[in-house]
């Protein structure tokens, strides 16, 4: 069997480098662009709920939120029902940068799977999601992780 781990690492590394370059003018490196996409899709989401859809640990989410607040892309609004939590919303600047991020991600996603036959693209996407979920599951359930 091909070295799945190696090819996943290669794909992840170079896809991240490419998108980081495109989004550098907006100070959205690493996974920050993903926060923008998910907060747009789930306005009012809490920091804890965000963890369930982006697979980053809570400290990473807290740092990312802090950076996005500093960049004026998101607002943290104290939850009136639970003062320990805050709900996250895109600011007007965040909504503008969302359009740019969504366009760049769509273009990159298309480029990344351009060599996959049209009839296999949907299945490839499902399989890749399963692999990602399995890696996350292994990382969060094995002792020492």
pLDDT in tens, 39-63: 999 999 998 899 888 888 889 999 9
Question: What pLDDT shows up at residue 1?
Answer: 63
Specify whether 50 is located in the same domain as 94: yes
Q: Do strands 45-46 and 74-78 pair parallel, antiparallel, or not at all (unpaired)?
A: unpaired
Same domain, 39 and 75: yes
Question: Torsion angle of alpha carbons 107, 110, 115, 118, nearest 10°?
Answer: -150
Angle subtended by helix axes 58-70 and 32-41, to nearest 10: 90
Q: Are residues 69 and 131 in the same domain?
A: no
Number of domains in the chain: 2
Q: Which domain holds residue 122?
A: 117-145
The stretch 116-124 carries a mean pLDDT of 94
For the cut 60, the answer to whether the pLDDT of residue 102 exceeds it is yes
Beta bridge mates, 82: none
CA separation for the pair 114, 98 (Å, rounded) = 24
121 in the same domain as 107: no
| pLDDT value of residue 142 | 67
DSSP notation for 77-145: EE-SS-TT-EEEEE-HHHHHHHHHHHHHHHHHHHHHTTTS-GGGHHHHHHHHHHHHHHHHHHHHHSTT-
pLDDT at 2 over 80: no
Share of the chain above pLDDT 90, in %: 66
**What's the pTM value of the predicted model, to 2 decimals?**
0.84
pLDDT digits (tens, 9 = 90+) for 91-101: 999 999 999 99
């Amino acid at each position: 069997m091909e070295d799945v781990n190696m090819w996943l690492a290669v794909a992840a590394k170079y896809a991240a480098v490419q998108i980081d370059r495109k989004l550098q003018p907006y100070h959205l490196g690493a996974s920050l662009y993903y926060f923008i996409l998910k907060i747009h899709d789930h306005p009012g989401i809490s920091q804890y709920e965000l963890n369930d859809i982006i697979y980053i640990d809570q400290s990473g989410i807290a740092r990312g939120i802090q950076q996005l607040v500093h960049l004026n892309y998101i607002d943290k609004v104290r939850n009136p029902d639970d003062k320990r939590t805050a709900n996250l919303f895109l600011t007007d600047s965040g909504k503008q940068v969302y359009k740019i991020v969504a366009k760049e991600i769509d273009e990159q996603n298309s480029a990344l799977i351009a060599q996959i036959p049209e009839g296999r693209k949907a299945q490839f996407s499902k399989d890749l999601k399963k692999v990602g979920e399995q890696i996350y599951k292994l990382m969060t359930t094995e002792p020492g992780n």
